[in-house]
Structure 1
Amino acid sequence: MEHYNFIVIGSGPAGRRAAIQAAKLGKKVLVVERGCRVGGVSVHTGTIPSKTLRETALNLSGWRERGFYGRSYRVKQDLTAQDLRARLDMTLNHEIEVLEHQFARNQVTTLRGDARFKDRNTIEVEGEQGESFEFSADSILLAVGTVPFRPDYVPFDDKQIFDSDGILTLDHLPRSLTVIGAGVIGIEYATIFSSLDVHVTLIEPRETMLDFIDQELIGDFTHQLKDRGMVLRFGKKAEKISKLDNGMCEIQMEGGRHIRSEMVLFAAGRMGATSSLNLEACGLESDARGRIRVDPTTFATDVPGIYAAGDVIGFPSLASTSMEQGRIAACHALGMRAHEPPKFFPYGIYSVPEISTVGMTEEEVMERGIAYECGVARFRETSRGHIMGLNTGMLKMIFSLKTRRLLGCHIVGEGATELIHIGQAVLNLKGTLEYFVENTFNYPTLAEAYKIAALDAWNRMPVE
């Protein structure tokens, strides 16, 4: 049995960052990956594919130019699934090559196979050809990610009825699509296909969506979706999904409504990929959704020497936060000092339009009883917005009346996930309204919206 200082199960964002951190500390590291190539869900079916699909859709459809040339404008008249797939394959191959090079350069050993615990310090790996290996380790990190939730009443076939992994394999663009689930994944795919002029219906059993986002942004976002023809069916759940003889799918809704579309995407949640790990052998338990409980500072589980990071531990389930979780977990596992995870981190939703947020929402500020003022800027108020043909998009900042510090920054619109980092830096450095008012921003840029929003708040705040 070969012994390692650190074994990582899973090579997604948390696993890769943890393994490389441990290797840079001079430790002997093994990464076990069950997929055909390294990268995990993030590279193969999650973050990178969905964002690549989004970028390809916006470029080939001419979406970004329609503010100038009208809704009928298209860069490529007859878009196909193959057009979307071509760019995706190139991007994935590049990501995998970079990751394989990082592992090789840092002397991280990788092994393809299914891992399961034998005891708290030992794992068994079933290899590609059915062969079995055993390894022991001082510390083990679980970074196995998640798999789509697939309830029994949904007849998945990966031809007409997909989950969020299978949707990447579709062989043609449908004329109509129903998306069940208005979480982050459902919203992203619903808006991407809508930008390709596919008629999209979005179903969500709750009355609201994305409740952790500032509700003023959600109001603006919802208006944009309805304005371009998306149908939102909230407050009723889908009870039955069936395929009809005419090639269509039918969704029977609670309350009697029937919805028909050519394809269906079921994106109502994901589950931790822990079912095959034999957690009982090491004394760990997962919750009903396969997630593992950890200490939020060290990412240690209830079993000494075993850590978990990434989507398998639940919210926020972001590639960016997973990377930091993995790195911090590796440091703690190997007895090294590590900073605490930052209190405020940016959350990006790669829908069309993008949404990004950092800090407290207006609802959270009110709940805490903090005296505050808001400033709002519309992208159409900036020169850069006019140059780009933007008719929509907004930036909102929330400031404390007592300290004048920035409490939250929220953006919906083109480039939101890039712009948010200005707000993130000021927030974490405890900056105030005066930073935005007194500093100069490049002209013309969308970042000017920060100064416009700050002046909007300043005009209504008491003079010191």
Structure 2
Amino acid sequence: MKKYDVIVIGSGPGGEGAAMQLSKSGKKTAVVEKYFDMGGGCTHWGTIPSKSLRHGVRSVLELRNNPLFASEIRHIDVGYSNLIKSAESVINKQSHMRRSFYERNRVEIIPGYARFISKNTIEVENSFGACEKFHAKNFVIATGSRPYHPKEVDFSNKRVLDSDSILKMDYTPRSITIYGAGVIGCEYASILKNLGMKVSLINTRDKLLAFLDNEIIDALSYHLRNQGVLIRHNELYEKIEIAEDGVVLYLQSGKKLKSDTLLWANGRTGNSENMGLKDLGIELDYRGYIKVNDHYQTNATHIYAVGDIVGFPSLASASYDQGRYAASKILKVADKRLVENIPTGIYTIPEISSLGKTERELTAEKIPYEVGQSLFRSLARAQIAGRTVGMLKILFHRETLKILGIHCFGYQASEIIHIGQAVMSQKGKANTVKYFVDTTFNYPTMAEAYRVAALNGLNRLF
């Protein structure tokens, strides 16, 4: 039986972050991966393919909206499956690159499905059914999550999809109903509508993405509807009927929606089944997520869990940091908690990014704040690029001028947010809205939105 200092289960962002730091620090490390290639759900089913699909749709829109090419591109039929195929090269590059990281850092790759047979021993079953045992002092579980499948929904039918199987869809439906209006549902509603499909978005709550700032929520709702997405709030499904010519979604309110395809985007489940975790006393919630403490330790303190398998925030960026943090605790080195003030990136069209407090939260906490806004339509760079839809909003303390929150909607929002993030992370007087007034920004740039927003907010003070 082979022995290691640490075995990491899962090669997604969380597993990679842990394995790289452990190996670089001299620990004998192995990673178990059940899929035939490296990178986990982020690379093969989630972040990379869906964002590549979005980029393809965005590129087609740019050409269609450009007067130089509009007449030529208008008659070109860009099918869904063709856009998916274009993402395969990115997936392959990412996967090969990630494999090279493990090989270069001398992390042994163990293919197969891992399950615990004792507190320090796992059994790995490969694709041929053969099993081998491995021993380690510590473990990091980074097995990720998958779409939630209610038992009464028939996902074996090609007309009923989830966020994994939609990436294998080999036709372009004329209409689609998306049940679930979380981040995944909103992203796909935006992508598929801009590909020419008729989209109905069913939200089980009273507003879209309620964790965002209210102004951003309103902007997202407006632009989705403006693109032609039909949004229905406060709806719950009753049953689903599948016919030869489509899918009928029955809602508890009495409504019926028929479409060519149904995308189920309501919730996810942790990949923790058949791993022998309960026998070790490791606590799971009802969705299969592993419960951990502030150091990402499970009930068995030598076993850590990071990434989507622990639930919120379920972001690739946070998973990397969680993996590195867990590794630092195993190594017993001083390290701060790396996953606070995580920026949210939502890749709708236009995209959204957010960091820190919302106006709703600051009002509830009775914190005296002020708002600085910059509308993209007033920025020269946005005008040049033809991306005038959007805004940047800075929330700051009226007295100390400390930055409390940053919210962005529009072109390059997920990139723009990091400028504000860097300033928010500073200590003392460096973390104030005055930084953006006292700093010279290149012109014309989208980053100039910070200067405009800061001046707008400071002018509100009296």
Structure 1: distance between partners of 2:262 and 2:41: 21
Asked whether the equivalents of residues 322 and 339 of structure 2 are also in contact (C-alpha less than 8 Å), the reply is: no
Aligned match of 1:171: 170
Percent identity at matched positions? 41
Aligned match of 1:259: 257
Where do 5+ consecutive residues of structure 1 fail to align? none
Over residues 283-327 of structure 1, what are the superposed CA-to-partner deviations in whole Å (9 max), with x where a residue is unaligned?
A: 21210011111122x211121200000011111110000000001
Over residues 178-211 of structure 1, what are the superposed CA-to-partner deviations in whole Å (9 max), with x where a residue is unaligned?
A: 1110111111111111111211110011111211
The 10-residue stretch of structure 1 (96-105 or 430-439) with the greater mean CA deviation from structure 2: 430-439
The 10-residue stretch of structure 1 (274-283 or 226-235) with the greater mean CA deviation from structure 2: 274-283
Aligned match of 2:204: 205
Over residues 438-462 of structure 1, what are the superposed CA-to-partner deviations in whole Å (9 max), with x where a residue is unaligned?
A: 2111111111111111111111112
Q: Structure 1 residues 64 and 454, CA, compared in 2 at 3 Å: closer, same or farther?
A: farther
Q: What amino acid sits opposite 2:235 in the alignment?
A: K
Instruction: Report SS of the residue matched to 1:218.
Output: helix
Instruction: Report SS of the residue matched to 1:443.
Output: coil
Q: Structure 1 residues 282 and 73, CA, compared in 2 at 3 Å: closer, same or farther?
A: farther
Aligned match of 1:240: 239
Aligned match of 1:44: 44
Pair 1:395-2:392 in alignment: yes
TM-score (norm 1): 0.96
The 10-residue stretch of structure 1 (95-104 or 61-70) with the greater mean CA deviation from structure 2: 61-70
Aligned match of 1:440: 440
Pair 1:351-2:348 in alignment: yes
Aligned match for 2:407, one of 392, 397, 410? 410
Aligned match of 1:6: 6
Asked whether the equivalents of residues 156 and 162 of structure 1 are also in contact (C-alpha less than 8 Å), the reply is: yes
1:400 CA drift (Å) = 0.2
Structure 2: distance between partners of 1:227 and 1:70: 23
Pair 1:326-2:346 in alignment: no
Asked whether the equivalents of residues 180 and 186 of structure 1 are also in contact (C-alpha less than 8 Å), the reply is: yes
Over residues 379-426 of structure 1, what are the superposed CA-to-partner deviations in whole Å (9 max), with x where a residue is unaligned?
A: 111011111112411111101012011110000111000000011111
Instruction: Report SS of the residue matched to 1:62.
Output: helix
Over residues 15-53 of structure 1, what are the superposed CA-to-partner deviations in whole Å (9 max), with x where a residue is unaligned?
A: 011111111011111100111211111111011111111
Over residues 71-103 of structure 1, what are the superposed CA-to-partner deviations in whole Å (9 max), with x where a residue is unaligned?
A: 998477101233212221101110111011111
Q: What amino acid sits opposite 1:83 in the alignment?
A: N
Aligned match of 2:65: 66
Structure 2: distance between partners of 1:75 and 1:34: 44
1:341 CA drift (Å) = 2.0
Aligned match of 1:273: 271
Asked whether the equivalents of residues 63 and 73 of structure 2 are also in contact (C-alpha less than 8 Å), the reply is: no
Runs of 4+ in structure 1 deviating by more than 3 angstroms, as ranges, are 67-76
Q: Structure 1 residues 91 and 395, CA, compared in 2 at 3 Å: closer, same or farther?
A: same
1:66 CA drift (Å) = 2.4
Pair 1:304-2:301 in alignment: yes
RMSD over aligned Cα, in angstroms? 1.7
Over residues 215-243 of structure 1, what are the superposed CA-to-partner deviations in whole Å (9 max), with x where a residue is unaligned?
A: 11110111111111110011111211111
Structure 2: distance between partners of 1:76 and 1:393: 29
Aligned match of 1:289: 287
Instruction: Report SS of the residue matched to 2:96.
Output: helix
The alignment of Structure 1 onto Structure 2 pairs a total of residues equal to: 459
Aligned match of 2:33: 33
